[in-house]
Structure 1
């Protein structure tokens, strides 16, 4: 399990450019919300609260996915190794997606948009963000934003065969996304501009591809 958790954290780091593209808007919203202090960046308590909410949603989703995989294995005899094969395939697709070579995960994201359309309107209750409670609530909602990076990691949680492992995997993934979003929150634009560079996306995508094929090899050996 330790390796899965560490790997999920690394996947979060490798998807930095994608995280900024997907969640950069909400981070900028937090910045614009600060008007009373005249500060260029939002207070640290808002940044922390927002990310706690986001990580909380990731963890809950991981628990649900892990529990689902466990029940499938116990009730219908679905091999965990088969779930691991599926998770490895999703990681390969994620590498192609992050590297901007093949965008099949766009279709997977589209499946989540129907649920997101029902959840997203609740975010208006927390705007403008001026308190930790509002930032926390907005983070909880934004954690369900349709995202290929999140969905790919959720397949790992499902393949873990345990609600606890599933939750830990998604928590580790969320922690891996923190550096990119925190640098954006505090205004380190030169770092975020670097993370958006195509060459870095290619390198990250290649890393995910190699690791995905490695996990696929292991999963197929376990399956057969």
Structure 2
């Protein structure tokens, strides 16, 4: 479907490097999650600290932290699959390339905004996060029935619900899931992103203040912001080629 539309525009899939399913785009999303640790800890630091607090009769900290993060990443995959399915439906038009380009440009603009946000130059995505508060106000009260968390069975649903916390970094990657045009790829994309966020939140939960102070430092945020900014700018430069080789495997091509 998309291949025919691209051919109409004189674009070769093989020339774009997206003729087969490449992992490079998913690796890029993993790195965004990994380097966005400062933002992740700022958003979820409170809950991971609570999971590390001593509770009479509670399971070991590591089991509660793992269960929380597993639930959180599972919700990312679910949301990514839903968004990817929506993106797939939006591709059911005849000349699909303009629509894909528009969505791809929007996704990379959000990455640029996130990079500047991490560096402390703008809070543009704070407005996007506030929009997500409408849904979060309905979901957050559900987590209270599992608190205080004493076992992994309680931590798992808390993590799943916490995956819906409004987060500009998550929304930036979700915009890429929308572009990929596949529920399966959307879920895989968010799994890769969630895996990237795992080390930061896991270490923050176990090592607590020492690690959080490192990730929240100005130098770390600057480096992380520059890397995320690079991905967004690179995507915009290569937008006429649907993202070029960097995002191969993320954009829908069948």
The two structures share one fold, judged by TM-score above 0.5: yes
Q: Distance in 1 between matches of 2:103 and 2:189?
A: 15
> Which residue of 1 is the match for residue 114 of structure 2?
94
How many residues matched? 220
C-alpha displacement of 1:161: 1.0
TM-score, normalised to structure 1, is 0.92
Deviates more, 1:208-217 or 1:114-123: 208-217
Whether the 8 Å contact between 1:91 and 1:212 is mirrored in structure 2 is yes
Q: Does structure 1 residue 156 correspond to structure 2 residue 156? A: no
Task: State the partner residue of 1:16.
Answer: 37
Bigger share in helix: 1
Matched, 1:52 2:70: yes
Whole-angstrom CA distance in 1 between matches of 2:128 and 2:82: 18
Q: Distance in 1 between matches of 2:92 and 2:141?
A: 37
The Cα of 1:95 is off from its aligned counterpart by: 0.4
**C-alpha root-mean-square deviation of aligned residues, in Å?**
1.7
CA distance in 2, matches of 1:49, 1:208: 28
Q: 1:200-219 residue pairs with structure 2 within 5 A?
A: 200-219=220-239
Secondary structure at 1:130's aligned position in 2? coil
Cα distance in 1 for residues equivalent to 2:116 and 2:48: 26
Task: Classify the secondary structure of the residue corresponding to 1:74.
Answer: coil
Checking the alignment, whether the CA contact within 8 Å between 1:85 and 1:220 is kept in structure 2 is no
Greater alpha carbon shift after TM alignment, 76-85 vs 137-146: 76-85
- With over 3 angstroms needed to count, the CA separation of the structure-2 counterparts of 1:65 and 1:77, relative to structure 1, is farther
Secondary structure, aligned partner of 1:103: coil
The corresponding residue for 2:252 is none
* CA shift for structure 1 position 131: 1.7
Paired residues for 1:184-223 under 5 Å? 184-187=204-207, 189-222=209-242
- Structure with bigger gyration radius: 2
Question: In the TM superposition, what is the alpha-carbon distance from 1:56 to its structure 2 partner?
Answer: 0.5
CA deviation profile, 1:21-78 (whole Å, cap 9, x unmatched)? 11010001111253336x9xx4322111111100000001110111111101115865
Check the 8 A contact 1:91/1:152 in 2, yes or no.
yes
- Please tell me whether the aligned partners of residues 116 and 225 of structure 2 are also in contact (alpha carbons under 8 angstroms): yes
Gaps of 5+ in 1: none
Specify the alignment match of 1:69 in structure 2. 87
1:31 aligns with 2:52: yes
Aligned to 1:118: 138
Q: Does 1:180 align with 2:211?
A: no
